[in-house]
Structure 1
Amino acid sequence: MHDLHSERMSGSETRAAGGLALVFAFRMLGMFMVLPVLATYGMDLAGATPALIGFAIGAYGLTQAFLQIPFGIISDRIGRRPVIYIGLVIFALGSLLAAHADSIWGVIAGRVLQGAGAISAAVMALLSDLTREQHRTKAMATIGMSIGVSFAVAMVVGPLVTRMFGLSGLFIVTAVMALVGIGLIAFVVPSASSHFTHRESGVARQALLPTLKHPDLLRLDVGIFVLHAILMASFVALPLALVERAGLPKEQHWWVYLTALLVSFFGMIPFIIYGEKKRKMKRVLIGAVATLMLTELFFWAFGYSLTELVVGTVVFFTAFNLLEASLPSLISKVSPAGGKGTAMGVYSTSQFLGAALGGILGGWLFQHGGLNVVFIGCAGLLAIWLAIAVTMREPPYVTSLRLPLSPAALREAALAERLKAVPGVTDAVVVAEEAAIYIKLDTEILDRASLERLVNPAPETCQA
């Protein structure tokens, strides 16, 4: 039995974090690999129009958005693993449906079914069951990184796989990845001895209304909605611009994305360090949104040669990856104590709705106005986000903690109010049914050990 307060992750926690990160990565690879290729290869499908190609690109977001939170709630009732297995099987079936489609409508149906395997919330909840409090943030960060890496890999591998096996071969590969995910859950991820409802990793109904009314959380939800909308819309236009304007054969697009993603990964790191260390995340956020907007205008005005399109794509991905990495951490800073899981649920739903709308809008704009209208449309959406982001307050630089409470501490009246008076504690809420307290604190002012002593003092101080 490992020590409850040991500072290292145990073997089973490492296996849980690694295994679930891989499940996430394989599923995300399946979602994203079609992005760089559908606009160019999809036009060979029967009935394909640019508007329907855009719909196929974003279609998974529709079902994902609506089923994300319900699947999480069902996993509280029937268990995490059954929900994850069902979700991965649905995803695999969607991939096979798309693989055997000979018309664009078959591919759209497959993408819609892929999105119906909405397992994100159940995976996060299982991770909470399998990790201790002090390692949970680390474990969740592992999953966050796996999503980022899978997106980067998908941009490069998608064109290479499609070049070798065609569009149907690409969808078969994504079905195989879902089956690998099932194997990982069955054989690598340890079994949870119990599962508990946890407000940092699941949606709490009581927290839903306050989350939907929270102005700064809503600004961030609009942000991720726009970010994924312009990503999908841009991927209706960018691959076509590379073929039509720069004359780059679709089989060679992989090197453009590889260059852009490698440069952007290293390019964004200094900005994240600056924003966190100097506590200037609002400035970094606004700068990145403005850069994305200017990049879309650059594509519109100058994106007519290979050099210009490659430079634009590098800048686009640097700003995109910077925002994709920093928005979830802003959600966790801004959300009230005990509200992070609910805030992330609403955020994910906004993200998938954005992806759905962006694909549909990008395809429709391209069909009715060509490439330039797509770029102008994306710049317009980003201008709206910029206007909203400017009014955001500087986020609080706080950490979320959940500490178990002893029966004596639970009986104590006004514990949360007393804690809020402690310098460095910005918010606290006692959740009696979990026998726990959720706290937001500034680690530069207050350290965790002194906080634990305040919440659950040693027996002799209780009697004093």
Structure 2
Amino acid sequence: MAANGLSGVEKKVAFSLASVFGLRMMGLFMIMPVFALYGQHLEGFSPLWVGIAIGAYGLTQALLQIPMGMLSDKYGRKPIILIGLVLFAIGSVIAAMSDHIYGVVLGRAIQGMGAIAAAVLALAADLTRDEQRTKVMAVIGICIGFSFALSLLVGPIATQSLGLEGLFYLTAALAVVGMLIVQFFVPNPITQAPKGDTVAVPEKLKRLFVDPQLFRLDAGIFILHLVLTAVFVALPLDLVDAGLVKEKHWMLYFPAFVGAFFLMVPLIIIGVKRNNTKGMFQVALIIMMLSLAAMGMFAGNLWVLAAAVLLFFTGFNYLEASLPSLIAKFCPSGDKGSAMGVYSTSQFLGAFCGGMIGGGAYQYLGASGVFFAGLALIGVWLLLTIGMKNPVLLKSYTLNAHFTDSDHAKAMATELSALAGVAEAIVVVEEKVAYLKVDDNFNLSDARAVLRSVN
């Protein structure tokens, strides 16, 4: 294998698992820009139930994300991923066949029961070398972002042609395609990455949840997805009232989302060059607050709404892209899987609460009430960032090791800690692994030499 790049197998793993993740996320996202507009024929339709239907997947995702990851440890990654995709397809069909909004809520909740994110990321870890794992995870992350952008294009166009029922059947078909990719294109793992690096460990969750830096990030992703879901309860209806017919909404969403990617690049560059992630984080939050204020104050002006959507996605894209990497930087060595478990649960719980709050606010306060509520919540997040620290720029490695006993492990941890560039070294005898956090002065071959001396 190439030492400085992805091998052929790792490239196959990255793109096949990214495709599975992307297809599933598209199935979840495509309903967001269209349901408030195309679901009005459903019995029991109301703004509150629109919000619940859009966000229902988040509750079951939040409840099952960690258990599904743990089951993948016990029964294997692929079987759990396939079961999750089957549940997603079943939920899609139930939603498609429903003529009452309660049936759609049930279908969306069953879609969310296919909580495969942890299992997919763990499988990616199983199939890649530790030094290349970050690149594979980055490919998957980029695909998730692209799937959201594509859903804003495909959702309105597909619903216009197929109707809401057809859109749900399309999401079921995407799940089937995902199953075929898992079965025939994703390699079978021979070894399993340490669970502390990939899947949540229950006894670690409470400690990570109360960590002040991680708590800020977990609360942030909760608020971010709450606001996103709430906005899409009100924004489609607001755009129609402002004169943009529902068949043309994609002509606003998709260019705005793509344009926002380019606008967020300066925030990333400045944050990295000046090591001022906190400052750029706060700028992104202020941009989102300005966009929500504009949506609330100028609901009838289509041009202002278009500019506000562009600003909203600029802030959203930066924050969505930054949060996972910050979780990895702030979490203790060896606790990445548990930290991401808390993070993912917060994210999906935010989507559920966003549907509830957005639907209720729209029903009783109108669209402006939704936007101003989102503005207030982003303001709370901005206050939380006051105590946020800029992360130290470190890389994480997970190296296989075999120790005779705990004393031997402690000795090796001491030796690893003494290597140039090592900021933190943790050795876990039960997992036969060494977790390292290192800076640019670290030489991987030195660490391997230390570990070879004990194997």
Q: Is the 8 A contact 2:292 2:372 kept in 1?
A: yes
2:273 aligned partner, one-letter code: K
Match of 1:105 in 2: 102
Distance in 2 (alpha carbons) for counterparts of 1:122 and 1:26: 16
Secondary structure of 1:440 counterpart: strand
Greater mean deviation of Cα atoms: 23-32 or 132-141: 132-141
Match of 2:320 among 318, 321, 324: 324
| Aligned partner of residue 325 in structure 2, secondary structure | helix
Conservation of the 8 A alpha-carbon contact between 1:91 and 1:115: yes
Aligned partner of 1:456 among 447, 451, 455: 451
Cα pair 2:65 2:116 within 8 Å, conserved: yes
Residue 284 (structure 1) aligned with residue 310 (structure 2): no
Structure 1 CA distance for aligned equivalents of residues 298 and 205 of structure 2? 45
Alignment of 1:60-459 (within 5 A): 60-244=57-241, 246-407=242-403, 411=408, 413-420=410-417, 424-443=421-440, 445-453=441-449, 455-456=450-451
**CA positional deviation for 1:29:** 0.3
Alpha carbons 1:35, 1:235 under 8 Å: kept? yes
Mark the CA change 1:133 to 1:423 in structure 2 (over 3 Å): closer, same or farther: closer
Q: Secondary structure at the match of 2:168?
A: helix
Query: Could you tell me whether the CA contact under 8 Å between 1:43 and 1:53 is conserved in 2?
Result: no
Letter of the structure 2 residue corresponding to residue 301 of structure 1: M
- Between 1:360-369 and 1:5-14, the stretch displaced more is 5-14
Following the alignment from structure 2 to structure 1, what is the Cα–Cα distance between the partners of residues 44 and 236?
Answer: 20
Query: The residue matched to 2:220 in structure 1 has which SS?
Result: helix
Deviation at 1:426, TM superposition (A): 2.6
Aligned to 1:52: 49
Deviations 1:131-164 (A, max 9, x none): 1112111111111111000000001110000010
Q: Which amino acid aligns with 1:53?
A: V
Post-superposition shift, 1:434? 2.2
The whole-number CA distance in structure 2 between the counterparts of 1:412 and 1:143 is 34
Q: Report the alpha carbon displacement of residue 277 of structure 1 after superposing the two structures with TM.
A: 2.6
The answer on whether the counterparts of 1:76 and 1:197 sit within 8 Å (CA) in structure 2 is no
> Which one-letter code corresponds to 2:29 in the other structure?
F
- CA shift at 1:420, angstroms? 4.0
> How many residue pairs end up in the alignment?
454
Q: CA RMSD in A?
A: 1.8
**Contact between 2:420 and 2:443, CA under 8 Å: does it hold in 1?**
no
| Structure 1 runs not aligned, ≥5 long | none
- Give yes or no for contact 1:88–1:117 (8 Å, CA) kept in 2: yes
Q: Which residue of 2 aligns with 1:40?
A: 37
Partner of 2:217, secondary structure, is helix
C-alpha deviations, 1:302-338, integer Å up to 9, x for none?
2321111100000100110000000001000100110
1:407 Cα deviation from its structure 2 partner: 4.1
Where 2:69 maps in the other structure, the secondary structure is helix
Q: Aligned partners of 2:278 and 2:413: how far apart in 1?
A: 29
- When residues 412 and 361 of structure 1 are mapped into structure 2, their CA distance, relative to the original with a 3 A threshold, is closer
- Give identity over the alignment, percent: 46
Change (3 A) 1:259 1:196: closer
- Kept after mapping to 1: 8 A contact 2:405/2:429: no
Looking at structure 2, the residues matched to 278 and 449 of structure 1 have their Cα atoms a distance apart, in angstroms, of 30
Is the contact made by 1:79 and 1:195 (CA closer than 8 Å) also made in structure 2?
Answer: no
TM-score, normalised by the number of residues in structure 2? 0.96
Amino acid at match of 1:121: A
Q: Provide the C-alpha distance between the structure 2 equivalents of 1:302 and 1:236, rounded to a whole number of angstroms.
A: 17
State TM-score, norm by structure 1: 0.94
Q: Which whole-Å deviations, capped at 9, do the CAs of 1:38-68 have from their partners, x for residues lacking one?
A: 1111122111000000000100000000000
Q: Deviations over 1:241-292 (max 9, x none)?
A: 1001x11110110010112012101111221122123211111111111211
Opposite residue 451 of structure 2, the aligned amino acid is N
Q: How far does residue 412 in structure 1 lie from its aligned partner after superposition? A: 5.1
SS of equivalent to 1:297: helix
How far apart, in 1, do the equivalents of 2:70 and 2:358 lie? 33
Secondary structure at the aligned position of 2:388 is classed as: coil
Cα separation, partners in 2 of 1:165 and 1:52, compared to 1, 3 Å = same
Question: Any idea what SS the aligned residue of 2:40 has?
Answer: helix
Structure 1 residues 157-195: Cα deviation after superposition (integer angstroms, max 9, x where no partner): 100000101100100000000000000011111111233
Given that 1:426 and 1:441 are in contact with CA atoms closer than 8 Å, whether structure 2 keeps it comes out as yes
- Report the residue type matching 2:332 in the other structure: P
Q: Deviation of residue 450 (structure 1)?
A: 4.1
Letter in 1 for 2:359: G
C-alpha contact (below 8 Å) 1:94/1:110 kept by paired residues: yes
Note closer, same or farther for the CA distance 1:420–1:209 as it changes in structure 2 (3 Å cut).
Answer: farther
Separation in structure 2 between the aligned mates of residue 160 and residue 103 of structure 1, nearest angstrom: 23
User: For residues 212 and 301 of structure 2, what CA distance do their matches in structure 1 show?
Assistant: 42
The letter of the residue matching 1:456 is L
- Structure 1 Cα separation of the partners of residues 222 and 33 of structure 2: 20
Whole-angstrom distance in 1 between the partners of 2:229 and 2:387:
26
* Conservation of the 8 A alpha-carbon contact between 2:284 and 2:319: yes
